[in-house]
Amino acid sequence: MVSYVNVHAVLENRRSQAREAASNSTVQPATSQRADGAHTPGQGPRVIVVGPTDSGKSILTRMLLGWAARKSWKPTYVKLDIGQRSITIPGTIAATPIEMPIDPIEGVPLKVPLVFFYWHTTPRGWKVSIRLSRWASILTWCFIMIEVNTDLYRVLVKELARTPELQFVANPDARAACMVINTVGWAEGIGYEVISSNSSDVLLGA
C-alpha cells in the first residue's frame, strides 16, 4: 500500500507541473505527444498497469483514479482488458473520464464513454473442434486456444487512442490529468507483443 501511495504522490506532482506548464505556454493544436516521445507543454502522466491475470491490476487502477478524483482531477480511464466489465460489458475496450472515486457497487459513472466492441473476452480467441474418441464411441469436445484476432484488437486500440488525444488538445485540464490504462492479463508470448504495441499506440496517441 505504501508503494501505491508513493506512486500517487509522484503522479500528483506530475499533474501539478503539467497544469502550471500549460498555464505558462500556448499549446498548438496538435497531438499531446509527438512521435519522438517529446511532450507538448501541459502533458500529464500516462500510467499503464501491466501484469498477469488476477495480479491486482484493476484494483490498482481504481485506486489511482479514485485518489486523483479526490484531488479534483478528471483523469481518463482506459480499459484495454476485454475480460473485465469495469466500464461496460466484457468483450469491449473503452475509455471514459473519471470525475469521482469509482463506487464498488455502482461501478464507473458513464456520461460520455467511448466503447469499441471486440466480441471476444481474450485477444487469443477460441477454436472448437469435435472428434471421436479412440477408445470409446463418445464425442469429446476439445477446446483449443489459438492466438488469433490480435490484428483486430490492435486496430481497435489504435482507434480508441485517437479520440482522447483530441480532447487533450482542446482541454488543458484533461491533458494535465491525463490517463490510467488497465491492460489485459495475457503477458507472455504474443500477448506481451500486443501489450507493448498497444502501450505505444496509447502513449503516442496512435
- Over residues 68-77, the pLDDT tens digits come to 999 999 999 9
Q: What would the CATH number be for the domain defined by 46-203?
A: 3.40.50.300
Q: Model confidence over 39-50: pLDDT tens digits?
A: 566 888 989 888
DSSP 3-state assignment of 70?
helix
Q: Percent of the chain beyond pLDDT 90?
A: 15
User: Do 179 and 77 form a contact (C-beta atoms < 8 A)?
Assistant: yes
pTM exceeds 0.75, yes or no: no
Domain boundaries, given as residue ranges, for the chain = 46-203
**Which grid coordinates belong to 114?**
467511448
pLDDT digits (tens, 9 = 90+) for 3-41: 889 999 999 999 999 888 888 765 444 444 444 444 566
Angle between helices 2-23 and 57-70 (to 10 degrees): 50
With CA atoms as reference, report the closest residue to 168 among 71, 92, 104, 76. 76
89: which 3 cell numbers?
460489458
